[in-house]
């Protein structure tokens, strides 16, 4: 029988659901609870009626005990938070943690056997004395005691005497056609609950203001709140004088010694939450619903020092309730409340009728958060989808409505541009919708996007926010554009009518929308929701013929969606047509005689297309498709209608070029382009000519196996020698074509990532002195990273080759670094161990050559010096230094010894080494560590194996800079320094190569 399977093994079936044989369970609660605001606890008694409407006989029920999620670091919540770097449950003080106990479950007044789920202490399993048959009901009761955790952890909690009482009572898991949906509480991954009614009685000190689910039944409390609302109106100007700021500035008054008991009831909801604070200011309003004209009361409750923003909360509550009702169906309850609170689970959090809102940074921000959370009354409250598994059905559809709300109420908004330097930066008129659009496209272009249909717990945090919320909003915005608002609204209202107060699955939403629209929407429900396939449409040609204006568009992408084509005249749309979904090109015919000067795909940028630069055609201009030039300082957004170019002055310097000054010109705007370039020519005062770099690349986003595939070529030219003694004056040009592939599957969150890099090199010495310095070659490097919160492993296997008329070099190397966090509590410190083996397979005839001609191809016990950087992977201030401090610059590669002596250099056979580095446990100072290097090498074919040991103290600033002071070294190594002073034994690393570095997600989010 199905219900014997553990509910945690959710079977997700995609059988087409239909409302006819649909059933759901019903749970009706009666809870009495008393708040103790000195010990921050709840004492309560609960009784619920459980009605089994399923066709199955139930021999047990699963009950969530979610306050237990806050018990310690071993709960699912504790583990999820630890992974995200929040350690309060793992290492925090006991007083900040929470729990539920004093449970004594009875079914129909008979004691029952119950136990905690073996994996999750926040789930209980009640074994029924007699199974509950189809159509039968039972009464379950228990007392319970909740220790309220700190509000800084997640959604249930208190900050001082401000209480957020959510996910707080024993609550049966949903039993549906997929079986039991028992789930531990998580921060990332929301809820799924049974519908029913609540009758909740709360006892607490008289001077608390309470915002809660349900209709308040206590007349005295209604008068108390009305009085608070009047008082708030009178005190508004006084409140506005208070300094804005973080929660807690308005002091808490003493608690009344007298208690009050207040009662709330509500039916057709699936949760009950309440919030209590003695400081709250209150405002009461009313909104008339668009369809039924029914009136709904709005309540806003906030801490007086937040009055500047909150004084308009009434308006946001009304407008949010109005528009969501208009587009989706009327709000079915009597009141809607927003309360001000500090919750750590994000900007705001929804509960039926009541939402809690975190600190807002602006009036606009507060409006969006309130509207979003109020909107969850529809997409969560009324349409009770399984948010843990199909989070997009509530967050995504809600984001669609949120985007639509902002675009409707503020059609000229520049919300995204305003976020950077208050709008003064040249992000050109980017609106609220663009924020989602650009976030999605950036994530996708980095190859890091997961499918919308992903289990909440399997999302990376960037994907949870960008894909589940924003991309879903975008794809339904696209659908709205395609169907037109009227038909789209009909679809959403039909979904609302058919599925309100029920548990719709994705296939139910799809069935309703397809039926009402009469369209096949596989491109949306399959391609855009279930895969990471990207949309990319291209405007191919525009021809004015006898029959009419013919615009040819082509589907270049992986999604066969509909394509909007607009004809514009002086920037205004004069005609629009849609090409129906197709995997090839379509020619649309517009009426003859339309006056237009431009044709565009999706001029309002409502289609979540990955590349937009191929979307337009201009009548004027030589090339039709070439856009007018836009040149901006530093960086900005890539405007679809422009050829975007950014510039910035550059100054640089090295030992030979001396001072360099020039400009970098590039097209790496936001979001990135498929084709990227950067040119940075600089006048070199040392070379008395131009030095600099240039790089071109082209990115492809394959469907499978590779996340990204980038082809590019990089060119560098600098001066590298000025040996006065021999009258040499060398400059080089290095041309390095490359292919970089980020290997992996975008579908899943994996701690492992790997990359393949194939790079060639052609190095010219453009001065006549060193023909030996001209060489060709390249390398293949496969590298992998395994990343966990407390430990990391990376490795790289690499084969290098280079040759010229004199020398051929082949070598192979393997490097691996394991890092572990050896202190994990309040102070975190890392220990690192590295292993390296490098072997020269062939270095033909070096002995007949002067040393400087083969030295670049040799191995070292230390990291490579500038002259060994034959592929120009790093910047060296003086790459050929023979004397002075710049001879002490090394890379963190090869043998990795922090030494600069000649001992163990020019190795033409093999080097093996291990290096350890430990950050010292000095409080507050993280950058001091100790190191030890041990290595063996065989310098030539005939030579003996030699060894060395080196220890010292290091200072490291991230991966960019390190400086190493030796303390003790083995005798051969020590002797090799001769009479050099201590200063010459110090080495340093300098990583100044941001351009060649991979673009990592962590740098952007």
Judged by the rule CB under 5 A, the positions of this chain that interact with Zn ion are: 395
Residue 395 or 437 having the CB closest to Zn ion: 395
Q: Is the alpha carbon torsion for 70, 76, 77, 81 positive or negative?
A: positive
Residue 249 or 455 having the CB closest to Zn ion: 455
Q: How far apart are the first and last CA of the chain?
A: 46
Residue 404: how many CA atoms within 13 Å on its side-chain side?
Answer: 27
Residue matched to tokens 């920037």: 571
Q: How far apart are CA 970 and CA 951, in angstroms?
A: 9
Residue 395 or 815 having the CB closest to Zn ion: 395
Shortest reach from residue 377's CB to Zn ion, in Å:
11
Q: How far apart are CA 46 and CA 31, in angstroms?
A: 4
Residue 395 or 453 having the CB closest to Zn ion: 395
Burial of 394 (0-12, 13-18, 19+ CB in 10 A): buried
Residue 395 or 481 having the CB closest to Zn ion: 395
Contacts of 355 (CB under 8 A, 6+ apart): 337, 338, 339, 348, 349, 370, 373, 374, 376
Q: How far apart are CA 648 and CA 664, in angstroms?
A: 5
Shortest reach from residue 398's CB to Zn ion, in Å:
5
Residue 379 or 871 having the CB closest to Zn ion: 379
Residue 285 or 347 having the CB closest to Zn ion: 347
Shortest reach from residue 191's CB to Zn ion, in Å:
11
From residue 522, how far is each of 136, 358, 385, 588, 881 by CA, in Å? 40, 38, 21, 22, 63
- Pick from 440, 442, 441, 418: which is nearest to 429 by CA? 418
Rounded to the nearest 10 degrees, what angle do helices 363-375 and 313-328 cross at? 40
How many CB atoms sit inside 10 A of residue 253's CB? 10
Shortest reach from residue 292's CB to Zn ion, in Å:
26
Q: Which phi and psi (to 5°) does residue 444 adopt?
A: -65, -40
3-state secondary structure (DSSP) of residue 427: coil
Shortest reach from residue 372's CB to Zn ion, in Å:
6
Residue 395 or 755 having the CB closest to Zn ion: 395
Shortest reach from residue 329's CB to Zn ion, in Å:
19
3-state secondary structure (DSSP) of residue 714: strand
Shortest reach from residue 197's CB to Zn ion, in Å:
25
Q: How far apart are CA 672 and CA 416, in angstroms?
A: 17
Let me know: does 842 contact 809? Beta carbons within 8 Å: yes
Q: Is the backbone peptide bond immediately before 70 cis, with ω within 30 degrees of 0?
A: no
Residue 395 or 527 having the CB closest to Zn ion: 395
Shortest reach from residue 376's CB to Zn ion, in Å:
6
Shortest reach from residue 379's CB to Zn ion, in Å:
8
3-state secondary structure (DSSP) of residue 828: coil
Shortest reach from residue 395's CB to Zn ion, in Å:
5
Residue 359 or 691 having the CB closest to Zn ion: 359
From residue 247, how far is each of 166, 250, 283 by CA, in Å? 19, 8, 19
Task: Dig out the tokens for 396 from the structure.
Answer: 């995504």
Residue 215 or 364 having the CB closest to Zn ion: 364
In 26-173, the DSSP E strands lie at 26-36, 41-51, 58-64, 99-101, 106-107, 110-111, 113-116, 123-132, 137-147, 157-159, 162-165, 171-172
Shortest reach from residue 469's CB to Zn ion, in Å:
7
Shortest reach from residue 342's CB to Zn ion, in Å:
17
Residue 211 or 391 having the CB closest to Zn ion: 391
Q: How far apart are CA 215 and CA 267, in angstroms?
A: 10
Residue 302 or 379 having the CB closest to Zn ion: 379
Residue matched to tokens 């949760």: 271
- Beta partners for residue 350, in sequence order: 355
Shortest reach from residue 414's CB to Zn ion, in Å:
24
Q: How far apart are CA 19 and CA 968, in angstroms?
A: 78
From residue 167, how far is each of 656, 860, 894 by CA, in Å? 67, 61, 55
3-state secondary structure (DSSP) of residue 519: coil
Q: How far apart are CA 320 and CA 368, in angstroms?
A: 9
- Give the H/E segment covering residue 784: strand 775-787
Shortest reach from residue 444's CB to Zn ion, in Å:
22
Give, as one character, the DSSP assignment of residue 253. Answer: P
Residue 279 or 390 having the CB closest to Zn ion: 390
Shortest reach from residue 354's CB to Zn ion, in Å:
14
SS (H, E, C) 877-909: CCCCCCCCHHHHECCCCCCCECCCCCCCCCECC
Shortest reach from residue 195's CB to Zn ion, in Å:
20
Residue 46 or 402 having the CB closest to Zn ion: 402
Residue 351 or 738 having the CB closest to Zn ion: 351
């Amino acid at each position: 029988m199905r219900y014997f399977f553990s509910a945690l093994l959710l079977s997700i079936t995609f059988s087409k659901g239909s409302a006819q044989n649909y059933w759901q369970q019903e749970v009706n609660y009666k809870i009495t609870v008393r708040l103790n605001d000195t010990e921050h606890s709840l004492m309560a008694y609960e009784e619920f009626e459980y009605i089994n409407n399923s066709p199955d006989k139930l021999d047990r029920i699963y009950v969530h005990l979610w306050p237990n999620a806050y018990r310690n670091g071993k709960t699912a919540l504790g583990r999820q938070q630890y992974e995200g770097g929040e350690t309060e449950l793992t290492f925090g003080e006991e007083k900040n943690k929470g729990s539920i106990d004093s449970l004594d479950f009875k079914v129909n007044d008979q004691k029952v056997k119950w136990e905690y789920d073996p994996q999750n202490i926040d789930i209980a399993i009640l074994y029924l004395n007699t199974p509950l048959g189809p159509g039968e009901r039972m009464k379950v009761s228990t007392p319970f005691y909740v220790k309220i955790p700190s509000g800084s952890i997640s959604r249930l909690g208190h900050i001082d005497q401000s209480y957020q009482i959510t996910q707080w009572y024993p609550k049966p898991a949903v039993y549906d056609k997929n079986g039991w949906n028992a789930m531990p509480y998580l921060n990332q991954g929301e809820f799924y609950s049974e519908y029913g009614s609540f009758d909740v009685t709360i006892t607490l000190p008289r001077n608390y203001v309470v915002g809660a689910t349900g209709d308040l039944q206590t007349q005295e409390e209604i008068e108390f709140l009305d009085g608070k609302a009047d008082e708030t109106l009178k005190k508004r100007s006084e409140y506005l004088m208070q300094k804005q700021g973080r929660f807690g500035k308005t002091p808490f008054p003493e608690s009344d010694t007298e208690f009050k008991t207040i009662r709330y009831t509500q039916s057709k909801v699936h949760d009950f939450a309440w919030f209590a604070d003695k400081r709250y200011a209150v405002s009461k309003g009313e909104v008339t619903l668009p369809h039924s004209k029914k009136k709904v009361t709005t309540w806003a409750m906030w801490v007086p020092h937040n009055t500047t923003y909150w004084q308009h909360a009434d308006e946001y509550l009304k407008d949010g309730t109005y528009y969501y009702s208009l587009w989706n169906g009327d709000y079915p309850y009597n009141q809607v409340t927003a309360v001000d609170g500090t919750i750590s689970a994000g900007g705001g959090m929804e509960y039926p009728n009541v939402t809690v809102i975190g600190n807002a940074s602006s009036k606009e921000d507060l409006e969006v958060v309130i509207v979003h959370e109020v909107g969850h009354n529809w997409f969560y409250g009324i349409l009770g989808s399984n948010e843990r598994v199909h989070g997009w059905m509530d967050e995504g559809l809600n984001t669609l409505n949120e985007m639509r709300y902002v675009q409707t109420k503020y059609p000229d908004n520049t919300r995204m541009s305003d976020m950077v330097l208050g709008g003064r930066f040249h992000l050109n008129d980017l609106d609220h919708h663009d924020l989602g659009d650009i976030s999605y496209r950036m994530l996708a272009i980095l190859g890091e996007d997961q499918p919308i249909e992903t289990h909440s717990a399997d999302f990376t945090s960037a994907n949870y926010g960008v894909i589940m919320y924003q991309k879903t909003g975008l794809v339904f915005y696209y659908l709205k554009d395609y169907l037109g608002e009227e038909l789209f609204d009909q679809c959403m209202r039909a979904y609302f009518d058919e599925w309100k107060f029920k548990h719709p699955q994705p296939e139910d939403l799809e069935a309703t929308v397809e039926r009402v629209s009469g369209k096949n929407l596989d491109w949306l429900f399959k391609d855009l929701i279930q895969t990471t396939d990207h949309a990319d449409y291209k405007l191919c040609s525009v021809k004015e013929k006898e029959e009419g204006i013919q615009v040819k568009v082509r589907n270049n992408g992986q999604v066969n969606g509909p394509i909007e084509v607009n004809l514009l005249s002086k920037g205004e749309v004069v005609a629009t047509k849609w090409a129906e979904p197709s995997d090839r090109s379509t020619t649309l015919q517009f009426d003859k005689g339309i006056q237009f000067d431009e044709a565009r795909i999706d001029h309002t940028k409502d289609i979540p297309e990955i590349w937009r630069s191929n979307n337009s055609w201009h009548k004027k201009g030589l090339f039709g498709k070439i856009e007018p030039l836009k040149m901006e300082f530093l960086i900005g957004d890539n405007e679809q209608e422009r050829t975007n170019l950014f510039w910035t002055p550059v100054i640089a310097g090295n030992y030979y070029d001396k001072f360099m000054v020039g400009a970098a010109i590039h097209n790496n705007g936001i979001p990135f382009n498929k084709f990227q370039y950067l040119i940075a020519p600089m006048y070199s005062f040392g070379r008395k000519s131009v030095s600099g770099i240039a790089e071109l690349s082209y990115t492809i986003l394959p469907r499978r196996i590779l996340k990204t595939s980038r082809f590019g070529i990089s060119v560098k030219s600098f001066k590298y020698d000025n040996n006065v003694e021999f009258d040499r004056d060398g400059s080089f040009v290095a041309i390095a074509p490359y292919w970089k592939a980020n290997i992996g599957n975008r579908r899943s969150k994996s701690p492992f990532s790997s990359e393949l890099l194939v790079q060639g090199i052609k190095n010219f010495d453009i001065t006549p002195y060193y023909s030996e310095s001209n060489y060709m070659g390249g390398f293949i490097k496969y590298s992998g990273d395994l990343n966990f919160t407390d430990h990391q492993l990376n490795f790289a296997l690499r084969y290098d080759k280079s040759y010229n008329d004199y020398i051929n070099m082949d070598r192979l190397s393997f490097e691996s670094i394991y890092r572990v966090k050896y202190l994990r509590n309040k102070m975190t410190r890392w220990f690192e161990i590295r292993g390296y083996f490098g072997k020269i397979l062939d270095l033909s005839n070096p002995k007949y050559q002067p040393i400087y001609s083969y030295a670049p191809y040799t191995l070292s016990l230390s990291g490579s010096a500038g002259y060994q950087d034959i592929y120009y992977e790093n910047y060296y201030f003086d790459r050929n230094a023979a004397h002075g401090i710049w001879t002490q610059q090394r890379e963190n590669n090869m043998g990795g010894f922090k030494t600069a002596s000649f001992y163990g250099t020019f190795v033409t056979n093999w080097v093996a080494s291990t290096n350890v580095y430990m950050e010292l446990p000095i409080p507050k100072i993280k950058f001091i560590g100790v190191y030890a290097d041990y290595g063996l090498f065989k310098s030539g074919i005939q030579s003996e194996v030699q060894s060395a040991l080196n220890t010292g103290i290091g200072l490291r600033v991230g991966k960019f800079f390190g400086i190493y002071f030796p303390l003790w070294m083995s005798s051969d190594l020590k002797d090799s320094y001769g009479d050099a002073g201590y200063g010459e034994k110090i080495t340093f690393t300098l990583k100044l190569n941001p351009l060649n570095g991979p673009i990592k997600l962590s740098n952007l989010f």
